[in-house]
Amino acid sequence: MGLFSGAAPPATPASMAPALAPPPLLRVYPAGRHRARGYRSARLNTLSSANGRRRTALMAGGGARKGNQITENSPVAGGDEQVMDGPPKIPERDFAGTPYVPVYVMLPLGVINMKCEVVDPEDLMKQLKILKSVNVDGVMIDCWWGIVEAHAPQEYNWNGYKQLFQMVRELNLKLQVVMSFHECGGNVGDDVYIPLPHWVREIGRSNPDIYFTDREGRRNQECLSWGIDKERVLRGRTAVEVYFDYMRSFRVECNEFFEDGIIAEIEVGLGPCGELRYSSYPAKYGWRYPGIGEFQCYDQYLLKSLRKAAEARGHSSWARGPDNAGSYNSRPHETGFFRDGGDYDSYYGRFFLGWYSQVLVDHADRVLSLANFAFEGINIAAKISGIHWWYKTASHAAELAAGFYNPCNRDGYAPIAAMLRKHDAALNFTCVELRTLDQHEDFPEAMADPEGLVWQVLNAAWDVCIPVASENALPCYDRDGYNKILENAKPLNDPDGRHLSAFTYLRLSSVLLERDNFLEFERFVKRMHGEGVLDLHL
């Protein structure tokens, strides 16, 4: 959910004594209703992590990630290796007495295998106990469509997930569950591959237009095109019917965990990486940061929708995508469409971008409507990606290609927030740990502004009184990154007392569990919970 999502830093262990019981509810409503220090020295290879939360492979000094095993340097073994630099010398804000923000931790991508079995339940239970020891509120888990409905339509296997949920319940932790209707893997840095269901890929072989398609005709099999939301091309069902049947099966099969209150929230996957966006910057087709990406509207179903919109507007010649928008790794000023004064702000450009972004909003509207029906009375959420590169240009090219119609003269996130408000859904946003200054130091050409983007999106959501949660995009393990997350989680002197409803840390790993890292993480959890710490740098 890095440069392209949101990132946070990790930390280290703490006392095993239980803390004060947190509030029972996941959401904390607004009033009325990171970078890791190693990030700058590391080179970002790429960013998308295919599980719905984006990730970047960090090539920092010999520190390859070691998977999900507890190592000699974990708190269980009492190791003392230091992974990142010491605390920053800048003053820190005291968060003692501030609102309680729940902290969740994403479980590893490969915790459930393709047979829907828990891979190593004993080791996982050890790690869950470690998280519990520092009063983490719960964990997040992806329920992969490609595992559960792998072989035939409406034949579901939830066995491994139910076993995992039972383990979580035994420790009195909460669950954020993601309905993951996308592929996991296929991007640089991904260590797990979970494709879409076999029967869906069979359909795709004879009808590749079920996938998002770029101008050159390349198909992206990460997820299904929104053009088939209402097309009966999936063995007699539409895409939204397939999603609804899956969600309804989960609600029935896992009813006991809903009844017990273990499942605190359902995050509904709405696109690639589980995020509400087009697949505009796929690493598999050569995209590299900070390329602007490409429009993904060239499957026959979206082109038919565009044709209808152009005819309704009275300009049938507009039934086409831009022919001067560059390629995946173009810069805005190199294109006739995105350059300052470019065609993005012409009559045609405004028509096309309005249609393209409305398709995104309409898709989320349809799926969340059915999610509310399937999960009546349960908190639901949608994830929005933090596309912060080229934010300081007039066109905001990377956002436009991803479906966010957010040039400098228009608020592209307000319509999304209004749609979420309609469904009483929370907004989960990324990149809360990134600092704009760091982006300028590492990639000055990207004209990035993650802090400006975070502020815009949070306020768009708070303006319509919906809960806002967040997660990190890059692996972060240092105090500087955590402090940035805390600043965004609990804005200083906000007159309405607004704050994040929850924060989810990406992700549980052996690196996080190394002693010094985990101690720093424990300190972060305490401050998110509004507790005081003794070693503030004032």
Residue tagged 């934010």 (tokens): 391
What tokens were used for 140? 């997040």
The structure tokens listed for 313 are: 């507007």
* Average confidence (pLDDT) over 106-116: 96
The pLDDT, as a whole number, for residue 23 is 34
- Cα 55 from Cα 9, distance rounded (Å): 13
Across-strand partners of 144?
Answer: 180
Q: Which two tokens mark 239? A: 């895409």
**Residue 430 assigned as binding residue:** yes
> What is the DSSP secondary structure assignment for residue 341, as one 8-state letter?
T
Total H helices, total E strands in the chain: 15, 10
Residue closest to 412 by CA, chosen among 448, 367, 358, 344: 358
Q: Tell whether 132 is in a known binding site.
A: no
% of residues, the chain, pLDDT over 90: 78
Q: DSSP secondary-structure letter at 286?
A: T
Length of the chain as a residue count: 538
The DSSP string of 352-411 is HHHHHHHHHHHHHHHHHHHHHHHTTTS-EEEEE----TTTTSSS-HHHHHHT----TTS-
Give Cα separations from 521 to 71, 482, 490 (angstroms). Answer: 17, 8, 17
Instruction: Report the SS3 class of residue 534.
Output: coil
Residue 448 has pLDDT above 60, yes or no: yes
pLDDT at 60 over 90: no
Residue with tokens 């469509």: 145
Q: Is 472 a known ligand-binding residue?
A: yes
Query: What mean pLDDT do residues 274-288 have?
Result: 96
* φ and ψ at residue 211, rounded to 5 degrees: -105, 155
Q: What is the pLDDT of residue 80?
A: 42
Q: Residues with Cβ < 8 Å from 168, sequence gap 6 or more? A: 128, 138, 139, 174, 175, 262
Q: Which two tokens stand for residue 428?
A: 């989960």
pLDDT at 43 over 80: no
- Residue 13 is predicted with a pLDDT of 33
Confidence band, pLDDT 50/70/90 cuts, at residue 90: confident
Question: pLDDT class for 39, splitting at 50, 70, 90?
Answer: very low
Residues 394-445 pLDDT 10s: 999 999 999 999 999 999 999 999 999 999 999 999 888 899 998 889 899 9
Give the integer Cα–Cα distance in Å for 27 and 424. 12
What is the C-alpha R_g of the chain? 22
Q: Average model confidence (pLDDT) for the chain?
A: 86
Is-contact 92 537, C-beta < 8 A?
Answer: yes
- Condensed to tens digits (0 to 9), the pLDDT of residues 512-521 reads 999 999 999 9
Mean pLDDT of 46-60: 35
Q: Tell me the two tokens of residue 32.
A: 């009325």
Is 190 labelled as part of a ligand binding site?
yes
> CA dist 105 to 34, 179, 366, Å?
16, 17, 29
- DSSP-assigned beta bridge partners for residue 234: 237
Within the chain, what is the greatest distance between any pair of CA atoms? 70
- State the pLDDT at residue 72: 41
**Better-predicted residue by pLDDT, 71 or 205:** 205
- Angstrom distance (rounded) from CA 53 to CA 430: 9
Whether pLDDT at 194 is above 70: yes
With H, G, I as helix, E, B as strand and everything else as coil, classify residue 199: helix
Residues with active-site annotation = 275, 471
Q: Are 438 and 40 in contact (CB under 8 A)?
A: yes
Contact 157, 125 (CB under 8 A): no
Provide the 8-state DSSP code for 161: H
Range of weakest confidence among 46-50, 163-167, 237-241, 343-347:
46-50
Tell me how far apart the alpha carbons of residues 498 and 494 are, in angstroms, rounded to a whole number.
6
pLDDT at 473: 87
Predicted TM-score of the model (pTM): 0.85
The encoded tokens of residue 456 equal 């815009």
* pLDDT score of 64 more than 90: no
Q: Half-sphere exposure of residue 440, counting CA atoms within 13 Å on the CB side?
A: 7
How far apart, in whole angstroms, are the C-alpha atoms of residue 423 and residue 409? 27
Separation between Cα atoms, residue 505 and residue 508, nearest integer Å: 8
Q: How confident is the model at residue 153 (pLDDT cuts 50, 70, 90)?
A: very high
pLDDT-based confidence at residue 190 (cuts at 50, 70, 90)? low
Q: What gap in Å lies between CA 199 and CA 145, rounded to an integer?
A: 11
Q: Which of 149, 174, 168, 383 is nearest to 249 (CA)?
A: 149
Residue 474 is predicted with a pLDDT of: 86
3-state DSSP assignment of residue 70: coil
Q: Categorize the per-residue pLDDT at 89 as very low, low, confident or very high, splitting at 50, 70 and 90.
A: low
Lookup: tokens for 425: 């859904």
Q: Can you tell me the distance from the alpha carbon of 345 to that of 189, in angstroms, rounded to the nearest whole number?
A: 37
Rounded to the nearest 10°, the torsion over CA 156, 162, 164, 170 is 170
- For the cut 50, the answer to whether the pLDDT of residue 70 exceeds it is no
One-letter amino acid at 210 equals I
383 is in an annotated binding site: yes
The pLDDT confidence band at residue 538, using thresholds 50, 70 and 90, is: confident
- Three-class SS state of 18: coil
**Are 503 and 27 spatial neighbours (Cβ–Cβ below 8 Å)?**
no
